[in-house]
Each structure stands twice: as structure tokens, then as C-alpha cells.
Chain A
Amino acid sequence: MKKEPFFWVTISCGFVIMAFILLPLIEMMTAPSFSILKETIKDKDVIRSIWLSIYSAGSAALISFLLGTPLAYLLARSDFQGKRLVESIIDLPIVIPHPVVGIAILSVAGKGHWLGKVFSELGIRIMGSVTGIIIVLTFVGLPFYINAAKSGFESISPRLEKVSRSLGASMVSTFFRITLPLAWRSMLVGIIMCSARAISEFGAVVIVAYHPMIAPVMIYERFEAYGLKYSQPVAVWLVSICLVLFLILRILTLRRPRET
């Protein structure tokens, strides 16, 4: 059968997009020589900043998981007035420009605000601290977790939970025996999305905490101070380590021994 011209248009667009995404990445990944990469990873500052990135993004994902799961479940299961509004509010961090996020967080964390005063009374410092970084990353990552978990819960028929309740299971037992085993894959995808988003954050973090330095800030600093050649190896290490971590999570998700 002769292919329609439209078919060739779709194929060509596909190739352009693939090249657009992959070319710069491949170029960057292959630019630094092996010896430079080896040297870079021996640099204590680099290790510290990559570790801080992973640690703070992981913490943000954990907080999103703990706080977001009940809300995601509520949004998936019940209809209430203002539900649309709540959903829009959850999506807000996605659309707000990143530096604005940083500024917004600083405005409640400062001494001029009662919340900032409470924090300072408790000895919690936001500005220039790991706590501040985690707060910022949670802010930007939360929507990704909640939306993924919510669609996971929505895909489970409420009748399964109803049957479980009628058979004697409490709401909590039903959640852990029925809902969670059926939704955990979506939740894990949500955790991956949330931490991926958190790890990539720069604009908001740089305003709240330039130091301690997360990897994206360090890449920026090295680029500013020494140029492309010195920022590339750090970027390569950050991307590689993150890819490996996500790959491991993904493999865990895809293992489904019981379902056929």
C-alpha cells in the first residue's frame, strides 16, 4: 500500500523531535574525556553536591508521599464542592516561574512573617539551609506525585473497596489490602516523577539556598566561573547517577510476578 503524504509528515516530525532532544544530550554526555570524569568524581565538593541533590529530592518525594497520598485518595474517591479549586491549587506550582517560587517561600520564611518567626523560635532556618532546599523541592515536586497517585486510585473500581468493606474489612484494612496493592505502581511512578522534578530544580533553590550547593547550582557556578568545559563533567555525573537510580526503580515497578 502506498503511504499517504501525511504519514511522511508524522515520521519526519518524529525524527526532528528525537534529534532535538537527543543531540544536545549525547553531545554533552560524550564531551568530557574519561580522565576528566574520573577526576571530577574524586572532587569532594562534587560528591557532596550530587549527594545533597539526591538526598533533598528523595526527602521531598518522601514528604509528598506521606502528605500527598491521603489527599490524592480523597480527590480520587469523593466529589465535593470546590474540588476543582483544590485540584487547580495543587497544579499551581507547575505553572509558577521557578524564581517566583523561591521568592514566595522566602516571603513566609522571613522574620517579617509570623510563620518565619515560629520557625526561628523553633531554631529552624530556611534561608541557606538543607531544610530550605527540601521545602522548595517539595513545593515543586508535590503536584507530580499527587496527580500520578490520584489517577492510580481513580483506576481502581470503588466497587472493590465496597465489596471489601461488606466482607468485614475496615476502611484502613481495605486501603492496605486492596487499594494499596493495586495502586502502588502508580504511586511509585508518582514518586519517580516527583523526585525527577525536584532534582532538576534550580531557579527556586538558588534564591532560597545558594549554599549548601545542590548539583544544579554547582553546575551553574562552574559554568559561570570556569566555562562549559568545567561544568559538563558534573552534569554528566548528575544525569548518569539519576538515570541509574530511576532505572532501578523502574525495573522494580515492572517486575510483576503474579499478574499475567
Chain B
Amino acid sequence: MIRIENLTIHLPGFNLRDINLTIDENEFFVLMGPTGAGKTVLIEAIAGLIPVAGGRIFIGNNDVSKLSPEKRDVSIVYQDYALFPHLTVQENITYGLHFHKIDRSEAEKRLACIIEILNLSHLQKRLPANLSGGEKQRVSLARALIVKPKILLLDEPLAALDPGFREELRHMIKRLHRNSNITFLMVTHDFAEALSLADQSAVMDKGRIEQAGSIEDIFQRPDSTFVADFVGMKNLFAARFRGTRAIIKKLEVELGRQPKNSNGYIAIRPEDIVLSEEALSSSMRNSFPGTVTRVFDLGFYYEVHIEVRNVIFKSLITKSSLFELKIIEGADIFLSFKSTAIHNF
């Protein structure tokens, strides 16, 4: 377990202020946020690698705030691997064992085991310079795990890899987490990674934690406009609430529930906005006629902007839907979304 209380860090040109965070034992926790939010600073502080100005960090029940990094049982894996270039793969992996009182047979057992799991046996005598990115990151993981840390910190471990390797290593990280009693704390920019790996998550911005909670909450129920925007809720509107309805400018939207506040925001993910040629009646509570104003080619998907009574909705559709619905700028179309797809705050 990691518990962070009122953590404050001052670095030249950057501050981390009043960070409070609890990460449970054996959890897979993901830390997200834009570049410069302070994610790396926070995990390095947990590892004891950055001087802390105030607040406390607990690992388990121990206050480790004053403990030097080598006494914290926290391993770290960086995006750029940070392998020791003068040591072979095997020497890199076993590096940490020199500092833990581990007898030879146990050390050999651990090495054999980790090499097997991470499929590194053919690389043992090689130097890091001769490895591919995926191989380097596997060595880095092996080196971090062989000392059996309480916590494994991963700083964008997959960001520098080719897409093919990335997926393979993502599965490997998931397996490693499932088969160990180690708390994983990972920094990532990639939503797919976050959703597929994490149970709990936090979003940071400008040295603060904006929201922490379950990964579903972060993506489905953000509690600030920043987080809603960050997780890709592209339909974000200021609204007045009347009964079970939200009023955006002159457009009334059915929420199917009564919000506690009278003014706030509603947010809808673009993939939850369905486009059709005819008005949909079925279970969709909200269906409006509108006009296509813009169409953006996003590669695999298209982002379509539809204006409904001066409100611009953004919808994400596939190429085939685009052709089927004959969507071009200026075309008339119906858009619908379920009231359950609307998040209000």
C-alpha cells in the first residue's frame, strides 16, 4: 500500500502541491496527465529520488519520507530503459541482488525464473547496446522485479516501443502483475493501456491531482472539465438543470435522473453519439435533427461535427458509416444518445 499525505515538492520552475493519494496493496494504479503535469516527479518522490519539501509518504504502515531510496523496496522502470551500458544483460538483471542479503542458490533460482518469464535466456551475455527496444524493456523489468520490491514504478514503459512490441509487453506487464504480490504504479499517456491494465487511476495537471478513483469513474464520470476533456469527452457543455432535464443554450436534453446541482456541466463521449438518416425512437431518449458542419479524417475514424440549435456535437464514426449515411458538410442528419451516456457534474 502507498499512502501519500499532503506531499509538496519544490523544483526549479516546478511545484508539486498538496498531493494526497492512496494506492491499495497489489493494485494496478495508473497515473495520467498532460506532459509537465508532474507524474514522473511524483513517482520519483515515492522512490525517494527527489527531495521532498513537505508531507509524508507511507509504504505499508511505514513512514518512508525520510528513508533513502535504497531502503524503500521500490523498483523503477523508465521509458528509456536506463540499462547499465557497461554490464551484460545478466549483470544488469542481477545488479540489485548484490545489495540484498540473498544466498547464491536463491539468487540463481530467481535469475532462472525471471529469465524464463521474460524470455531473456538467449540474451544473457549480450550488452544492452545490442538489444531491441522491446528486449531492453524486458531486461529493465527483470532487473526491477528480481529484488522482489513492494512497489514497481513504471514511467511510460511502453511509450518508446513499436506498436507490435507494445501490445506484447503490455500483456506481459499484466501477467507479471497478476502473478506477483507487487503494487504497480504506472505513468502513461495511452488510454488503451490505462483501461486494459489499471483498476484505479488518477489524473494530474500542473502539479496537482485533478481526480483519483476507479478507471471507469475517470473515463465515464470525470468530475471536472479538465478531466472530462483530458479523457476525450469531446462533448462538454455548460448546462442548467431543471428536474431531470439539462438545458444547453436552448436545447433540452433528458438525463433520466435529477442532478443535485442547478448549474453544472454535461459530458458525452463522441463514440456514444449515434448518427442516423431517420429519427431513432427506440431506447434513445435524446434524438435531434441537425446539420453536419465539419468532417475530420482521423485515419481509422471520422470525427463529425453536427450543429443542433447552435450547439455543436462531436461524433466518432467509422469510414463505412460515413459512406452509408452519405455524410458531407452541410448534410441534414439525426443524432441520438442515451441518457445513460450523459455524465453530469
Contact = CB atoms under 8 A, between A and B. Distances in A.
Contacts of A178: 84
Interface string A242-260: 0000000000000000111
A-B pairs, top 9 by smallest CB distance, nearest first, are A168-B99, A167-B96, A165-B69, A159-B82, A162-B49, A166-B76, A168-B70, A163-B82, A181-B86
Interface in B59-101: 68-70, 72, 74-76, 78, 80, 82, 84-86, 95-96, 98-100
Interface string A152-182: 0000010110111111111101000110011
A242 to B, nearest CB: 31
Contacts of B210: none
A165 B78 contact: no
Interface string A53-79: 000000000000000000000000001
- Size category of the A interface is 20 to 34
B49 A168 contact: no
A79 B12 contact: yes
Contacts of B341: none
A169 B97 CA distance: 10
B99 A167 contact: yes
Contact of A169 (B49, B72, B99, B129): B99
B47 interface: yes
A182 B86 contact: yes
Given A157-B80, A159-B82, A162-B44, A259 B127 contact: yes
A226 B82 CA distance: 62
A167 to B, nearest CB: 3
A167 B143 contact: yes
A173 B99 CA distance: 9
Contacts of B44: 162
Nearest to B47: A166
Contacts of A181: 86
A77 to B, nearest CB: 12
A258 B86 contact: yes
Contacts of B179: none
Contacts of A159: 78, 80, 82
19 contacts: A159-B82, A162-B69, A162-B82, A163-B76, A163-B82, A165-B70, A166-B47, A167-B99, A168-B96, A168-B147, A169-B99, A170-B68, A170-B70, A173-B98, A177-B95, A178-B84, A182-B85, A258-B86, A260-B129
Interface string B97-133: 0111000000000000000000000000001011000
A178 B12 CA distance: 27
B169 to A, nearest CB: 18
Given A157-B80, A178-B84, A166 B129 contact: no
